[in-house]
């Protein structure tokens, strides 16, 4: 299916090693934060994810944030979770995003409300993440709602999913990804990768299943910026594995040198990941520290010359292109 108006799609189709980043919207009715961070990232990445009430905390919606990025000439990736919407709301949001010029969508389950600021909220989870992907493909390719009713015109979408190579049972993760790819996932962003060796092992399983030829695999990368963040990452975040060697290296740098060493680790990890067959790019996550993303890209030696070319135009230009 032809997807128009997305620099990320163009970069992936051209076989370039892509860079995406992640941006959390503010907790308030103001778009200035998204606008400023979007401007700072333009020219450094191919696309920027807007999270969907991440962690179960109420924030500006992913659709609103995505529209702001379009205004700033940044290609958005709109995240949508199963936690907060049933199949009616999901399909409506997908159609609405496409109608407004947002082409890239990333479909995921989402953190349980018990982790957020409304722990008593009732989670929805009407569809699981694989069913969400299939629903988006059915809307796009067949112009059909889950009810069977037709949709005209269908939404023009670039459909993405997520995967965690390190969550138990580890031996099942590549096969789990296969289900999402069969359902229609065209690109996949992974959980943060600190153990590049383990990630390489997972990618070998992905290649054995031929998934790298059917979907673009984008590896999650991000800096651990403090000893407290390291402790949280190692003990509180399921499915994230920080090897002892990496933890020791960061701690030896001391408090003052911690962030600097974390940036070195990121750059070195990117170099190693680029050498792994079947990896199409990296997804940079620097929660609350998005200003570090340009420096990570610069240190990694990635070619920036194409980023300005891939940036989408204003919302008006995106609508014309669609």
Boundaries of every domain in the chain: 8-224+269-315
Q: Mind listing the pLDDT tens digit for each residue in 52-72?
A: 999 999 999 999 999 999 999
Given this model, what pLDDT does residue 264 score? 97
The mean pLDDT value for 200-208 works out to 98
Task: Please state, in angstroms and rounded to a whole number, the distance separating the CA atoms of residues 313 and 322.
Answer: 12
Fold of 8-224+269-315: TIM Barrel (3.20.20)
pTM > 0.85: yes
Residue ranges of E strands in the chain: 18-23, 47-50, 76-81, 104-108, 158-163, 187-192, 216-221, 279-284
Q: Mind listing the pLDDT tens digit for each residue in 209-244?
A: 999 999 999 999 999 999 999 999 998 887 789 999
Task: Please state, in angstroms and rounded to a whole number, the distance separating the CA atoms of residues 190 and 273.
Answer: 12
Task: Please state, in angstroms and rounded to a whole number, the distance separating the CA atoms of residues 262 and 208.
Answer: 32
Q: 310 pLDDT band (50/70/90 cuts)?
A: low
Check pLDDT > 80 for residue 76: yes
- Compare 98 and 111 and report the one with higher pLDDT: 98
Q: Position of tokens 């408090």?
A: 255
Q: Is 33 helix (H, G, I), strand (E, B) or coil?
A: helix
Given this model, what pLDDT does residue 288 score? 87
Check pLDDT > 90 for residue 144: yes
Given this model, what pLDDT does residue 48 score? 98
Given this model, what pLDDT does residue 312 score? 61
CA proximity to 155, closest of 95, 234, 210: 95
Taking CA atoms, 220 is separated from 102, 147, 163, 273, 274, in Å, by: 22, 35, 10, 10, 12
Looking at the DSSP assignment, which residues form a beta bridge with residue 150? 144
Q: Mind listing the pLDDT tens digit for each residue in 24-46?
A: 999 999 999 999 999 999 999 99
């Amino acid at each position: 299916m032809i997807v128009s108006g997305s620099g990320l799609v163009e970069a992936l189709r051209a076989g370039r090693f892509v860079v995406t980043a992640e941006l959390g919207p503010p907790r308030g009715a103001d778009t200035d934060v998204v606008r400023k961070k979007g401007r700072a990232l333009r020219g450094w990445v191919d696309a920027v994810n807007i999270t969907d009430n991440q962690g179960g905390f109420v924030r500006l919606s992913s659709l609103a944030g995505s529209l702001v990025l379009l205004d700033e000439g940044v290609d958005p990736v709109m995240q949508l979770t199963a936690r907060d919407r049933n199949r009616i709301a999901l399909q409506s949001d997908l159609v609405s995003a496409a109608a407004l010029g947002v082409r890239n969508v990333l479909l995921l389950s989402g953190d349980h409300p018990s982790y957020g600021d409304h722990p008593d909220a009732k989670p929805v989870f009407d569809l699981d993440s694989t069913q969400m992907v299939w629903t988006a493909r059915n809307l796009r390719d067949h112009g059909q709602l889950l009810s069977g009713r037709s949709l005209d015109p269908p939404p023009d979408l670039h459909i993405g999913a997520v995967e965690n190579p390190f969550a138990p049972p580890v031996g099942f993760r590549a096969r789990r990804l296969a289900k999402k790819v069969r359902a229609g996932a065209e690109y996949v962003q992974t959980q943060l990768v600190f153990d590049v060796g383990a990630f390489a092992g997972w990618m070998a399983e992905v290649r054995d299943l031929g998934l790298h030829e059917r979907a673009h695999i984008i590896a999650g990368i991000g800096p651990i910026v403090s000893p407290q963040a390291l402790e949280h990452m190692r003990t509180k975040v399921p499915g994230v594995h920080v090897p002892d060697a990496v933890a020791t290296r960061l701690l030896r740098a001391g408090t003052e040198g911690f962030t600097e060493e974390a940036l070195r680790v990121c750059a070195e990890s990117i170099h190693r990941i680029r050498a792994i067959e079947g990896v199409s790019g990296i997804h940079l996550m620097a929660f609350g520290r998005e200003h570090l993303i340009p420096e990570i890209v610069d240190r990694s030696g990635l070619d920036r010359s194409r980023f300005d070319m891939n940036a989408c135009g204003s919302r008006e230009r995106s609508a014309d292109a669609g």
